[in-house]
Amino acid sequence: MTLEHIKKAIRNIPDFPIPGIQFKDITTAISDGAILKEIGQRMYDQYKDKGITKVIGIESRGFIMGGIIAEKLGVGFVPIRKKGKLPATTLSVVYGKEYGEDEIEMHQDSLSETDIVLVHDDLLATGGTMQAAEKLIKKFGVQTIYFHFLIELDDLNGRENFISPENVSSMIHF
């Protein structure tokens, strides 16, 4: 299966969640078992030799492939969620994104200084959410942070906002 096959399975929804946004809907791709398996295998092949100790998924679509790659790598999964969704004591970061302001949190006991983490989300646009995630994860003093996206919107230059852009990877580019 080619990346073009995966790309064609991603549905575009204009003006969602607000006018002017072209939402890339991955549900049409991941509802196909062969495509879901291919995405998981490609991610596994890319990260299997990086020493990853935890996979972090960004709420909510980052949980899907994040959970799959954590299982394939044999490591734990840590969620980053919107404020108020986690039950124990958390650390948080407030940030701006394309269409508003938000706040994300992690449990304060999620990571340690010995961790090498892979952060996954479905889409990289301007990078606001991932900049916030990077700041949040750095509070734990982890060794290395890798970032993976199923989709990257190249015209928005979100990759340029990372402290370590060489650790950013995207499978599909629009």
The residue count for the chain: 174
Give me the catalytic one of 61, 105, 134, 159. 61
Contacts of 8 (CB under 8 A, 6+ apart): none
51-96 pLDDT per residue, tens: 999 999 999 999 999 999 999 999 999 999 999 999 999 999 998 7
- Find the helix packing angle between 62-73 and 33-47, rounded to 10°: 60
Q: Where in the chain are the domains?
A: 49-173
Choose which CATH entry (3.60.150.10, 3.40.50.2020, 1.10.10.10, 3.40.50.300) describes domain 49-173: 3.40.50.2020
Model pLDDT for residues 35-57, shown as the tens digit of each residue: 999 999 999 999 999 999 999 99
Gap between the Cα atoms of 106 and 83, Å rounded: 9
How are beta strands 22-25 and 11-14 bridged, if at all?
antiparallel
98 is catalytic: yes
pTM exceeds cut of 0.85: yes
Q: Pick the catalytic residue: 42, 59, 71, 98?
A: 98
What is the Rg, in whole angstroms, of the alpha carbon atoms belonging to the chain? 15
